[in-house]
């Protein structure tokens, strides 16, 4: 479905020096041209990355404020992100949900604001291990997906990232079958609750311990339209391998 989409979520990692090296490795990498490639540096390095990275790779933020800027100490507005050249924002990441405490309603409002202002949204969802073990994977994912569906003005500029929390940063990647099962269920949910068109055109990407070794099998799955990569996106050549796993 749609063009393969690979995002590198650098999370809260890097220094000016390490990011200079990473950007240079990405600039040197041979990337499949038929893939949307996006990287999400920490806010403070976005400007550096934007001015040094090939314009074949777009920039995403890792979060954005829920409304117009102003007296919100420590926050970064969508307008500021656009001003420095970001095209995307990652919202609803499990670390923001479960470490920082953002809830569905707040995340939905952020998504709506960002989309209305013209940023693309990488909308993350995913179940905890305890949810999976209790047989609640679909319930949890559908509830999180519905929160976006209830809030957003349109689906034109949204990529859904399914990231099972138990797979994030653990080295325990979902099997291709486990990921495909959830992706297919998410697409079916969109079909029933939004529209056939949105279900068929919205890219659903997988995240959670994706690396250069496991990406190819995952990429073969019918409903896996790309990846959101954490740890392995900090290594330029490995990230390139993941980008080039498009089938």
Please identify which residue in the block is written with the tokens 């990406």.
215
Return the closest-CA partner of residue 81 out of 120, 24, 108, 52.
120
Decide if 93 is catalytic.
Answer: yes
Cβ 97 to ligand 13P shortest distance, Å: 11
Which of the residues 93, 102, 127, 238 is marked catalytic?
93
Decide if 98 is catalytic.
Answer: no
Cβ 197 to ligand 13P shortest distance, Å: 27
Can residue 223 be called a binding residue for ligand 13P (CB under 6 A)?
Answer: no
* Residues 114, 101 contacting (CB under 8 angstroms): no
The CB density around residue 40, as the number of other CB atoms within 10 Å, is 27
For helices 104-116 and 137-151, the axis angle rounded to 10 degrees is: 40
Q: How many Å apart are CA 42 and CA 14, to the nearest integer?
A: 8
For β-strands 158-162 and 120-125, DSSP reports them as: parallel
Q: Specify the long-range contacts of residues 173-181, CB closer than 8 Å, at least 24 apart.
A: 173/208, 173/209, 173/210, 173/211, 173/214, 173/218, 174/206, 174/208, 176/217, 176/218, 176/220, 176/221, 176/224, 179/206, 179/218, 179/221, 179/224, 180/221, 180/222, 180/223, 180/224
Can residue 205 be called a binding residue for ligand 13P (CB under 6 A)?
Answer: no
Can residue 164 be called a binding residue for ligand 13P (CB under 6 A)?
Answer: no
Q: Is the dihedral of CA 146, 204, 120, 167 positive or negative?
A: positive
Can residue 218 be called a binding residue for ligand 13P (CB under 6 A)?
Answer: no
**Residue 6 burial (CB < 10 Å; 0-12/13-18/19+)?**
buried
35 to 74: interface string for ligand 13P, x by CB under 6 A: ----------------------------------------
Cβ 125 to ligand 13P shortest distance, Å: 12
**Choices 50-58, 80-88, 202-210, 213-221 (CB under 6 A): range interacting with ligand 13P:** 202-210
Can residue 208 be called a binding residue for ligand 13P (CB under 6 A)?
Answer: yes
Report the residue closest to ligand 13P, judged by CB: 230
Cβ 159 to ligand 13P shortest distance, Å: 12
144 to 163: interface string for ligand 13P, x by CB under 6 A: -------------------x
Q: Which of 42, 169, 176, 212 binds ligand 13P (CB under 6 A)?
A: 169
Closest to ligand 13P by CB, 147 or 242:
242
Can residue 228 be called a binding residue for ligand 13P (CB under 6 A)?
Answer: yes
Cβ 92 to ligand 13P shortest distance, Å: 10
Which spans of this chain sit near ligand 13P (rule: CB under 6 A)?
9, 93, 163, 168-169, 207-210, 228-232
Catalytic residues: 93, 163
């Amino acid at each position: 479905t749609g063009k393969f989409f690979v995002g590198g979520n650098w999370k809260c990692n890097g220094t000016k020096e390490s990011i200079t090296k990473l950007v240079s490795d990405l600039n040197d990498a041979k990337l499949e041209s038929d893939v949307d490639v996006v990287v999400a540096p920490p806010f403070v390095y976005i400007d550096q990355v934007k001015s040094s990275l090939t314009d074949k790779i777009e920039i995403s933020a890792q979060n954005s404020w829920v409304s117009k800027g102003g007296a919100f100490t420590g926050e970064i507005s969508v307008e500021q992100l656009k001003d420095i050249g970001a095209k995307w924002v990652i919202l609803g990441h499990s670390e923001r949900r479960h470490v920082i405490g953002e809830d569905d309603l707040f995340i939905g409002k952020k998504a709506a604001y960002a989309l209305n202002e013209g940023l693309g949204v990488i909308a993350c969802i995913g179940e905890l291990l305890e949810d999976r073990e209790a047989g609640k994977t679909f319930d949890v994912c559908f509830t999180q997906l519905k929160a976006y569906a209830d809030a957003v003005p349109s689906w034109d500029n949204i990529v859904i990232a399914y990231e099972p929390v138990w797979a994030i940063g653990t080295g325990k990647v979902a099997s291709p079958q486990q990921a495909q099962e959830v992706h297919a269920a998410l697409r079916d949910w969109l079909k029933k609750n939004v529209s056939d068109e949105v279900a068929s055109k919205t890219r659903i990407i997988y995240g959670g311990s994706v690396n250069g070794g496991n990406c190819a099998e995952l990429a073969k799955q019918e409903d896996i339209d790309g990846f959101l990569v954490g740890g392995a996106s900090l290594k330029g050549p490995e990230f390139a391998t993941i980008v080039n796993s498009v089938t």
